[in-house]
Amino acid sequence: MAVINTYQLSTSIKSEGNGGQVIALAGSFETVATDSAGSKYRLARVGADWVPLSIDINCDAISGLDDVDLGFYELLERGGAAKDADILLDGGDISAGKALGSEQNGLASLPIDEIGDPVYSLADDSDPSEQMYDLVLTSNNAVAQAGTVSIRALFVKSA
């Protein structure tokens, strides 16, 4: 058996071995009872070199939000196409409501081996030339009532 005495996290990726600048995002929006299945709620613009640390979703009880995804899209003015629509959360059920203290983990579907990866990598891009992405919550079912959805997110710059 060998004794290990090496850095396990990358020392070349700033956020892994040396820390980095933390970016905090917080906000709320209202759903409408007529929001159709496939509605995309663009929550924030995030940098290609940002690494998601935590994302918490709180909301009122809202019928229809029983299958939501959270992921990355091109900026709307660049066409708005999905890059990876459910990399962070796939099929989440927030329809019963999520009070403070019982948040939906917005990173629940992030594969363990991708923790610490920058957004461009999570968006299936090979380089960070795309400077910004939209963080998007998608409702896969029609929303049947109005309600408030709130998000709090922490990212760290990796470059």
- The per-residue pLDDT for range 66-83, each reduced to its tens digit, is 999 999 999 999 999 999
38 lies in some domain: yes
Give me the number of domains the chain comprises. 1
Per-position b or e across 43-60, b if 16+ CB within 10 A of its CB? bbebbbbbbbbebbbbbb
5 lies in some domain: no
15 lies in some domain: no
16 lies in some domain: no
Q: What percent of the chain has pLDDT over 90?
A: 81
13 lies in some domain: no
Q: Which domain range does residue 137 map to?
A: 33-157
7 lies in some domain: no
Across 13-107, the runs of DSSP E, i.e. the strands, are 22-31, 39-47, 50-59, 68-73, 82-92, 104-105
11 lies in some domain: no
78 lies in some domain: yes
Higher pLDDT, 19 or 23: 23
Task: Read off the pLDDT of each residue in 55-62 and give the average, rounded to a whole number.
Answer: 97
Q: Binning pLDDT at 50, 70 and 90, where does residue 120 land? A: very high
